[in-house]
Every structure is written in structure tokens, then in C-alpha cells.
Chain A
Amino acid sequence: MPLHDARIETMDREELRELQLARLQATVANVYENVPYYRKKLEETGVHPSDIKTLEDVRLLPFTDKTALRDTYPFGLFARPLDEVVRLHSSSGTTGKPIVVGYTRNDLDNWTELTARVGAEAGVTAGDRIDMAFLYGMFTGGWGMHYGLEHLGATIIPAGSGNTERHLMMMRDFGTTVLVSTPSYALYLAEVGEKNGYDFAKLPLRVGLFGGEPCSGRLREEIEERLHIIATDNYGLSEVNGPGVAGECTVKNGMHIAEDQFLAEIVDPETGAPLPEGSRGELVLTPLLKEAFPVLRYRTHDLTRIHYEPCACGRTLARMETVRQRTDDMLIIRGVNVFPSQIEDVLLKRDGVKPHYRIVLETVHNLDDLTIQLEVDPGFFSDKMRDMEKTQREIAQAIHSVLGLRSTIQLVEPGTLERTQGKSKKVIDNRIKD
């Protein structure tokens, strides 16, 4: 696995920290000078850019939450006039006002560098043909990956999302070797392909670059088995940049954070206090090179752990674990903290169960009622009612032993739960709110 930028990717930690400090100082100066919102914040907390003398001084800076990004819609946090901004992206805004982010020419170049690195980490080279099955449009995923992979010299097939049969046809006819998508779309592609008689073992497809949503180990194994590929995970979010913040190498031992462009901290999600190295907590990111849209200490709400030991691939960049839980997708059911991923783990542990499920919460007799809808799969369907009821009972028992909660396991016909091509909606919360 070739290094894309050997100097950065194998940099000695002390040298890297010096680079990060210089860039952090420049970033703080940038927001202080150019973003009134941050100027005010910093003045309120009595912090001046010149107070940032060590990397740990990042803790003097205020956090930025999603709310601030919404409240300043559309351009309130931009540090450059729109004349210097060459691209805008935005979130879908399904839960309020969208978040708009902007990029200068340099920002785009740096971004291209990041996603090229993600590609190189997964072993993508100029010889690859890449099916971009990511949404283009305002979403950062499609365009971000597009430029980086194209920069590596690979052939890009910008198919976008949707029209799965066309993806499959091109995959076969063009000899596609790499798939870029969300993990749930990859699984859907496998499903449609198998149904239409595609033999993935015979297709040249060999690598998947998956991002945009959490991917459990079992889901990844299933994608690897069904598509006959190596699946790698990557991480990013529009608020700090888009895809390319971190990418997994083929050692598959966590995602290498692009620490030259992002300062990563792990904090206690409740208090915001920094946690000791190796602890599990909320990831907080400060982009270090952004000109148009620099944010300070962005609260990602993603829970992970960071490992600093050098990787077997030769990279010294820290590795973050795959994000399976978010502080804001934690459900409180009858007073119990539940992450959807815990339910997914229970389901996927059973033979034949596929990750086509939905968690439905309702209020019944003033109490929270948990139903897990699960699509029946040939892998566990039996002609005997007894077996099916046993499956339901055993899943409910396993959920109970993990979470201490009673649940109803509702078996549904295959293909009836929504397959989204972006982030899939696994939780329907219909509880009555006080």
C-alpha cells in the first residue's frame, strides 16, 4: 500500500505536533480576524490568539456545536468573502436550517489531498475504475471523494446514487474495480445484483470505500463476502470538511486521521473535559488549514477512541476506531441508555439475520414500548411456526440480556423496510413527548 504523502503520513510525532501548533495558531488568528462570531466568543472567554502557545492550549478555545452553524445560516461563519469562495456545500437540513459550508481554491486542493489519501490507504491506484455510488449535489460525500480519487489517476464513473441496475450493468461492462458508497447501499447493490444473476466472484470489483454511516463488523464481513471485495471505512463530516478526515488502510486497524489538517481531541460528552489518551469519548475536531470555513473544536457527537501507536502499514498518523455510536443517537428507553448499534449487534450475531431492521418506539399505557421490525430472510425462514416463534423469542431474550429491556420482535416481509441510498433510517420514534 503506497503512501500518498510519505512525509506527512510517516512524520515523527514531535514534528507533527509542531506542524499542528503552527497551523492551529494560524487558524485561531484567522477566525479572530475574520469571523465576528468567534471574535466575540474569544473576547468573552478572554482568550487572544497569542495565548495559544502549546497544542494543549486548544482547550482554552470554545467548542462549536451544530446549533452555532445553523444560527449563522447561511454565511455567518465564513472567514472569507464569497468572491474567494469557489464552492458551496450544504447539509440536507432535515432537522432544521441546513448548514452551509464554503471552500476557497486552497481548501479544495487540500480536500483533494485528503480524499486521495483515503483512496491510497485502501490501495486505490491509477489503474482502478471507480463507481461513485455516492450522492453528488449539495452533499460533500460525492464531490469530495470524486476529486481525490481522480487525483490518484483512477478512472471515475460518476454514476451517483440511484438506478442500481445501471450501476451493475456498468460494473460488468466497464470492469469496475472500486465501489464508493455507504455500506447500506453496498448491501443493497449486492442484493439487487444477486437477484439479477450477477456473479460478484467473477467481476473485477475488489475494493469498497465506505463512509457516511456507521458500519458494524458483521455488516462489513457480509459486504465483503457477498461482493467479494475488501471493505474499508472512511470518516468525515461536512462541518469540518467532508470525507477525508480519516481513512482506513488495508491493515484494517482503525482509520488514519489526517492530523496535519485536523486536530483531534477526545472529550467527555457530558462535561466536555478532555479524557486521557486511549479513552473512549466524543471526538472533537479542529480543522487546521481551512480558509473559508474554519471552525474551532467542533463537537462531532461521534463516540470513538484514538490510538497513537504507529500502524503496521508504516503510517504514524493516529488511528480512530470506527464510529458505531453517536451521543445524539442514544435512545433512552424506560430509563435505559440504548445505542441502536447495540441492537444491531444482537441481531447480526444470529445466523442468517441480515441488517434489515428498524427500531420502533411507541408509548403504550404511558410506558415506552420497543418493537424491533426485522425482515425475514431465507437464512432463517422456516416452514415451522414453532421455529419462527423460537427465533422471535430468542432475539427478544438476547435483547433483554444486553439491555435489560423487553421488546417485541416483529417479523416482516423482505424488502418492506426502507432502503435508503444515503443514511438509512433505523429508528422511528413515535413516543409521546411531554
Chain B
Amino acid sequence: MSVEQLSVFIENKAGRITTVASVLAQAGVNIRGFSVSDSEHFGIVRVIADDPEHGASALEDAGFVVKRSPVIVVNLTDHPGGLAAVLKTISDAGIEVEYIYSLIATYLAFDVEDTERATALLGATDVSLLEQSDLK
């Protein structure tokens, strides 16, 4: 059992992640989870979507290089030790974890250049901003 992930190469230029998200939006593809890893000049956007096939072709048509690969997706039990148990199963078998990120992108953690300003900007929209206490 596995889920198909789309990986997209982007240059570290303003608006590239936005473009990836917009291409998927225009194609009617719903993003169910994503992560971005970056180096000095480029990044890799990883996306899990409801329709990876359609998502991949929309991104390719928009000129992106897309790689489709299988990933494991688990539904953790939401209590202390839930993540540790899953990781232990894998690491005890000597299997290396390449990367992990969480899905159902309703709670998103951002690290931005200017936290204060971005917070103010987002606060003025209809998204809800969370505080530490909301995660208890």
C-alpha cells in the first residue's frame, strides 16, 4: 500500500511555490499535503494530492520537471508516543528514513523572513492563526 507523491523542481525565486500551487488549483487538483526542502539556489516541492496523475500532467504542461514516486502514508494516533512508535518500527529494521512530512495541510508551519509582518498580513485574511496553546 503506498501513495503517489509528486516532486517538483523549483528555482529559489519569488513566487515559484505559488505557481506550483496555482497550477494545481487551476487543474482542480486538491493538495492533501506538501513539503519544501531547499538549498542555496533551488528547492524541491513535494506534493501529495487527490489526483496525482492529473496534477503531474498539469505541472509538466506548465513546464516543470515532475517526478512521481511512491511514499508511505500513515495515520498516527494522536497521543504521546504515536510518532515514536512508527519510527521505531522502521528504524529497528535498519531502514533509513529519507524525509518525513505531515499531510492534510490544514495546519501549516511557516518560517518566513519577516514573521511579524507576515503574521499581520495573514491576520487580516480569513485564515485562523494558531498559538502554542491551540496545540494542546
Chain A residues in contact with chain B, CB under 8 A? Answer: 376-378, 381-386, 388-389, 410-416
B32 at the interface (CB under 8 A from A): no
**Contacts A376-B9, A411-B9 known; A381 to B37 CB distance under 8 Å?**
no
Closest Cβ–Cβ distance, residue B2 to chain A (whole Å): 14
Closest Cβ–Cβ distance, residue A138 to chain B (whole Å): 33
Chain B residues in contact with chain A, CB under 8 A? Answer: 5, 7, 9-11, 16, 37-39, 41-42, 44, 46, 63-67, 69, 98-99
Bound-state Cα–Cα, A381 to B9, Å? 8
Contact B63 A381 (CB under 8 A): no
Which residue of B10, B38, B42, B69 contacts A383 across the interface (Cβ within 8 Å)? Answer: B69
Bound-state Cα–Cα, A385 to B7, Å? 11
Contact B98 A413 (CB under 8 A): no
Which residue of A384, A385, A389, A413 contacts B65 across the interface (Cβ within 8 Å)? Answer: A413
**Contacts A413-B64, A414-B63 known; A385 to B37 CB distance under 8 Å?**
yes
Closest Cβ–Cβ distance, residue B114 to chain A (whole Å): 25
**Contacts A383-B67, A384-B98, A385-B37 known; A411 to B5 CB distance under 8 Å?**
no
Which residue of A381, A389, A415 contacts B39 across the interface (Cβ within 8 Å)? Answer: A389
Bound-state Cα–Cα, A160 to B64, Å? 29
Q: Which 7 A-B pairs have the closest CB atoms?
A: A383-B7, A376-B9, A381-B65, A385-B37, A415-B63, A376-B65, A411-B42
Contact B9 A384 (CB under 8 A): no
Bound-state Cα–Cα, A382 to B45, Å? 11
Q: Which residues of A contact B65 (CB under 8 A)?
A: 376-378, 381, 413-414
Q: Which residues of B contact A388 (CB under 8 A)?
A: 39, 42, 44
Contact A410 B41 (CB under 8 A): yes
- Chain B residue at minimal CB-CB distance from A413: B11
Bound-state Cα–Cα, A413 to B16, Å? 10
Contact B63 A411 (CB under 8 A): no
Closest Cβ–Cβ distance, residue A250 to chain B (whole Å): 36
- Chain B residue at minimal CB-CB distance from A408: B41
Closest Cβ–Cβ distance, residue B10 to chain A (whole Å): 7
Bound-state Cα–Cα, A416 to B9, Å? 13
**Contacts A378-B65, A413-B64, A414-B65 known; A384 to B10 CB distance under 8 Å?**
no
